[in-house]
Amino acid sequence: MSKQTIRVLVVDDDFLQIMSVKNSFSNYAQDLNDSCDIFIDTANDVDRALCLINESVNKYDFIITDIEMPRKNGFDLICFLKDINYPAKIIANSCESRYKDKCMDLGCYYFMDKFDNFENLFNIICSVFV
């Protein structure tokens, strides 16, 4: 049986938040080592994320985006992805739960409070593939 490849793009202006997500994936991915490979790209703003999306030969399976970022915000990214019918499942990530309804209305797959345990995020992503 061949391994499943999961491609994730994490978009956040907070370097520590990006590292927390990456570390959580590293810790939990060991359990799935035989069944899938997880590749994570990161961007510290929406413009960089759009460059990665446009340059990527392989589409991302998941895009995890912060909502509150300088210049363009996560809503800008979500709307752009929706407008071009980008196939990734979008996970919005914010410490402001008041954004949840708007994110879900825009078509996000999941809304995660930044204070949630990242194990939940990993389980959500893996449940789609494993």
Look at the chain and report how many structural domains it folds into: 1
pTM of the complete model beyond 0.85: yes
Q: Work out the average pLDDT over 104-127.
A: 82
Instruction: Say how far apart CA 6 and CA 36 lie, in whole Å.
Output: 7
Q: The CATH number of the domain where 31 resides is what?
A: 3.40.50.2300
Q: Which domain holds residue 19?
A: 4-129
pLDDT, residue 107, reads 95
- Structure token digits, residue 3: 């391994």
> In the predicted model, what is the mean pLDDT of the chain?
86
